Amino acid sequence: MTTIPLSSPSLLATLPGRYYTDPEIFRQEQRHVFESMWFCAVRSADLDRPGAFRTVQVGRENVIITRTRAGGLRAFLNICRHRGARLCLEESGQVRRNLRCPYHAWTYDLDGRLVAAPNLTKMPDVDRAAYGLVRVALREWLGYAWVCLADTPPSFEETVRGAAVERLGDPAAIEHYGAENLTLGRRVGYDVRANWKLIVENFMECYHCATIHPELTDVLPEFARGYAAQYYVGHGAEFGEGVKGFTVDGSEGFGRLPEVPEGQDRRYYAITVKPTVFVNLVPDHVILHRMFPLAEDRTVVECDWLYAPDVVASGADLSRSVELFHRVNTQDFAACERTQPAMSSRAYRAGGVLVPAEHHIGVFHEWLLERLGE
């Protein structure tokens, strides 16, 4: 439906408004998108020692990710196997060696095994292995733990790494930034009152750049023409003449990450890893957005600015560097929030239109409809 040209061949139809407002469609997305695909949950280094944990919402499920005593990461459904109480109530924390249910004190070790419960020794027939926490598949990439709730997870290579290859045209290109070896310089959380798809669509296009991103278009003048870097395979938007770094005023950044080749040293690349991740690559840092869609009209976005460890350790002033994309985020999310209320207006019942610079968003819509089985 989405690629059917309207009466003007320049325009393609968007999704109808209800796709952004209908709780039932959001529920279908939880099932067929967030609970079926690899979902970027947490920065691995946030869980820096055994017993550190973080809980995240993945579709309709809450998932605990924790570091084990052996040093690996594990993910479990955040549900006690006794009578189903939520095991960890906090968003993050640190336990000594066990996860203990706050209801009747069933206790699990960091590998999820049931290790203790009141009167458990009086029930010798209970198979502790069978009542361990329910494991969730976990992979690490770019320094993040990605989890998948599907019984048979899709290929990580194809669906996650493949997005970077498809965008950059070269499997090695993203590895040059060594995101897994970088240090978190800043993290900002944004509670956005908009459907997650509005945020994805906005990220994919740059038709709005000239209107709402003055600082970004000063650094990347080609963005003022409306064509996003994501429009062309392998293309990175080039810094403007006189721009020294990817900073809010174009002043000097922090040089170049060690493996970034010269040809990429004045360019910005953007990758959308469906469904919920944006990766932004600039010569001296990586900006990674993780979305947590919580309702049809609410999405929490966590944005990390990652730098070379010595830059962060030196106590360098990151503010001009962080400020550029923080402003872009604020400008983008305000636009998404302005759009969300219109999604339930009768004016948008049949949807809106995509101009040629946005036609690739139609491919995202088709992808979504296919996942929803429509």
Asked whether position 106 contacts ligand FES by CB under 6 A, the answer is: yes
Asked whether position 83 contacts ligand FES by CB under 6 A, the answer is: yes
The nearer residue to ligand FES, 132 or 240, going by C-beta atoms, is 132
The nearer residue to ligand FES, 79 or 286, going by C-beta atoms, is 79
Asked whether position 128 contacts ligand FES by CB under 6 A, the answer is: no
Residue selected from 11, 18, 22, 85 as contacting ligand FES according to rule CB under 6 A: 85
Asked whether position 201 contacts Fe ion by CB under 5 A, the answer is: no
* Whole-angstrom distance, CA of residue 224 vs CA of residue 220: 8
> Closest residue (Cβ) to Fe ion?
332
The nearer residue to Fe ion, 274 or 327, going by C-beta atoms, is 327
Minimal distance in Å, beta carbon 104 to ligand FES?
3
Asked whether position 358 contacts Fe ion by CB under 5 A, the answer is: no
Closest Cα partner for 144 from 258, 27, 43, 12?
43
Residue selected from 226, 332, 358, 364 as contacting Fe ion according to rule CB under 5 A: 332
How far the first Cα of the chain sits from its last, in Å, is 10
* Whole-angstrom distance, CA of residue 155 vs CA of residue 168: 19
Residue 101 binds which entry of ligand FES, Fe ion, none, CB below 5-8 Å type-dependent: ligand FES
Residues 118, 56: contact at Cβ < 8 Å?
no
* Whole-angstrom distance, CA of residue 238 vs CA of residue 85: 52
Asked whether position 360 contacts ligand FES by CB under 6 A, the answer is: no
* Whole-angstrom distance, CA of residue 241 vs CA of residue 221: 9
Residues 51-80 that bind ligand FES (CB under 6 A): 80
Q: How far is CA 162 from the centre of its chain?
A: 15
Residues 282, 253: contact at Cβ < 8 Å?
yes
* Whole-angstrom distance, CA of residue 303 vs CA of residue 288: 6
Chain residues binding ligand FES by CB under 6 A are 80, 82-85, 101, 103-106
Chain residues binding Fe ion by CB under 5 A are 332
